């Protein structure tokens, strides 16, 4: 059920719609929303929040302290993709910013994104430099991709064009979202940002990061894992399952031309070897059956849907192979992480 503050004028058209997906974010939502309300922009901004059947006091917090936001309170937990699709359907702004509930914008973030959008030809996807919440260290300026669609953080201040930006802070025209079809709801969560950015680049739209401003992010707070701590990498079975499955889906749908038939068999072979080695090292049969063997099962179960999606997207491709693969780097992100942090803990 969507609730909008009755004091707001429904005829006042916002320029920017900030969409925040929330699940049990009572402890982080205030920082996120306060950062949006503190933006130094003269543009009209609307805030839309989708609460995904939270079991904490998120709804009470939102209703008592942020009545100016449009609240979509879901009776069932539907996941990140559906939550964002619902919000953008309700959005009225020319531009949409998808913002994680565990992120907070710099005061000039929206003004910076809007200025950058006005310079894009055509207008595509944008993000800001991402900084770690605790240390303040730069995390990335968008991401490149390795040959197997693993995100490689870009830290080059001179590089604006990237392969993808993280969905924690993802800006695009609402019309482009509609053209691309939004997030694939059958992804559930994880990898939807990778898919959307690859789809946009295939269709001839830029994916870029701004030079200035930024956002702070409690990495992994909203979904568990995705951040190296003092004891190394830590993640969950569900996150790893969705990550490996959805990266493979994105590769299957978006890789142009014959490149897919070179990359996909090699990817599946390396994924199989990785699963065997990690499962044996950790003596964890669940890891093999739930995460790695699950990729093959999912590909087979979704084969007809994946072929149809691939046909639709590739038939509308405008980017050349050279342009599409300009966002890729010849390095193995997983090997880098293994050498730096060791095998991940999965809980």
- Name the residue with higher pLDDT: 253 or 11: 253
Give the integer Cα–Cα distance in Å for 140 and 209. Answer: 10
Topology of the domain comprising 2-217: Spore Coat Polysaccharide Biosynthesis Protein SpsA; Chain A (3.90.550)
- Name the residue with higher pLDDT: 219 or 271: 271
> Residue ranges of the domains in the chain?
2-217, 227-346
Give the integer Cα–Cα distance in Å for 177 and 234. Answer: 33
Q: Quick count: other Cβ atoms within 10 Å of Cβ 167?
A: 23
- Kindly give the interhelix angle for 293-301 and 259-282, rounded to the nearest 10 degrees: 140
pLDDT grade for 49, boundaries at 50, 70 and 90: very high
Which residues on neighbouring strands pair with residue 228, listed in sequence order?
Answer: 233
Give the integer Cα–Cα distance in Å for 294 and 208. Answer: 33
**pLDDT given at position 1:** 42
Which residues on neighbouring strands pair with residue 216, listed in sequence order?
Answer: 104, 131
Buried b (16+ CB within 10 A) or exposed e, 284-298: eeebbeebbebbeeb
With a cut of 50, say whether residue 195 has pLDDT above it: yes
Q: How far is CA 330 from CA 150, 180, 185, 217, 346, in A?
A: 11, 28, 31, 28, 27
pLDDT grade for 336, boundaries at 50, 70 and 90: confident
Residue 329 φ/ψ, nearest 5 degrees: -125, 145
**pLDDT given at position 7:** 37
**pLDDT given at position 2:** 45
Q: Which two tokens stand for residue 314?
A: 């590739």
CA angle, residues 70, 217, 104, in degrees to nearest 5? 40
The answer to whether 267 and 331 are in contact (CB under 8 A) is no
Average pLDDT over the chain, rounded to an integer? 91
Give the integer Cα–Cα distance in Å for 246 and 298. Answer: 10
Q: Which two tokens stand for residue 342?
A: 């060791």
**pLDDT given at position 105:** 98
**pLDDT given at position 11:** 54
Which residues on neighbouring strands pair with residue 271, listed in sequence order?
Answer: none
Q: Which two tokens stand for residue 320?
A: 């050349």
**pLDDT given at position 231:** 58
pLDDT grade for 281, boundaries at 50, 70 and 90: confident
Residue written as token pair 């293994």: 338
Region 191-210: mean pLDDT is: 97
Residue written as token pair 């990335």: 140
Which tens digits make up the pLDDT trace of 234-250? 778 999 999 999 999 99
In terms of C-beta density within 10 A (0-12 exposed, 13-18 middle, 19 or more buried), how is residue 9 classed?
exposed
Q: Which two tokens stand for residue 85?
A: 């699709």
Which tens digits make up the pLDDT trace of 174-188? 999 999 999 999 998
In terms of C-beta density within 10 A (0-12 exposed, 13-18 middle, 19 or more buried), how is residue 44 classed?
middle
- Name the residue with higher pLDDT: 123 or 231: 123
DSSP states of 271-324 as a string?
Answer: HHHHHHHHHHHHT-HHIIIIIIHHHHHHHHHTHHHHHHHHHHHHHT--S-HHHH
**pLDDT given at position 168:** 96
């Amino acid at each position: 059920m969507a609730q909008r503050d009755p004091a707001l004028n429904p005829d006042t058209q916002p320029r920017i719609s900030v969409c925040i997906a929330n699940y049990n974010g009572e402890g982080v939502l205030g920082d996120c929303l306060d950062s949006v309300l503190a933006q130094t922009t003269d543009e009209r901004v609307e805030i839309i929040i989708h609460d995904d059947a939270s079991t904490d006091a998120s709804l009470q917090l939102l209703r008592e302290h942020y009545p100016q936001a449009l609240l979509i309170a879901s009776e069932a937990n539907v996941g990140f993709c559906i939550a964002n699709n619902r919000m953008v359907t309700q959005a009225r702004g020319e531009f949409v910013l998808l913002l994680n509930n565990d992120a907070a914008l710099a005061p000039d973030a929206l003004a910076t994104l809007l200025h950058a959008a006005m310079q894009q030809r055509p207008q595509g996807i944008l993000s800001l430099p991402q900084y770690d919440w605790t240390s303040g260290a730069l995390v990335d300026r968008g991401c490149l991709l390795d040959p197997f669609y693993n995100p490689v953080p870009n830290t080059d201040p001179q590089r604006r064009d990237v392969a993808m930006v993280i969905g924690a802070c993802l800006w695009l025209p609402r019309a482009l979202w509609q053209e691309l079809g939004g997030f694939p709801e059958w992804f559930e969560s994880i990898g939807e940002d990778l898919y959307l950015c690859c789809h946009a680049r295939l269709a001839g739209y830029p994916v870029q990061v701004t030079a200035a401003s930024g956002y702070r992010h409690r990495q992994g707070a909203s979904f568990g894992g995705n951040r190296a701590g003092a004891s190394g990498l830590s993640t969950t079975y569900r996150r790893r399952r969705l990550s490996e499955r959805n990266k493979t889906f994105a590769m299957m749908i978006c890789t142009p031309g014959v490149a897919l038939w070179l990359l996909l068999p090699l990817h599946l072979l390396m994924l199989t070897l990785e699963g065997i080695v990690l499962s044996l090292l950790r003596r964890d049969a669940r890891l093999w059956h739930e995460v790695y063997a699950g990729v093959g099962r999912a590909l087979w179960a979704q084969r007809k849907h994946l072929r149809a999606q691939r046909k639709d997207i590739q038939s509308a491709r405008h980017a050349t192979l050279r342009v599409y693969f300009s966002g890729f780097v010849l390095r193995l992100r997983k090997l880098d992480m293994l050498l730096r942090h060791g095998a991940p803990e999965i809980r």
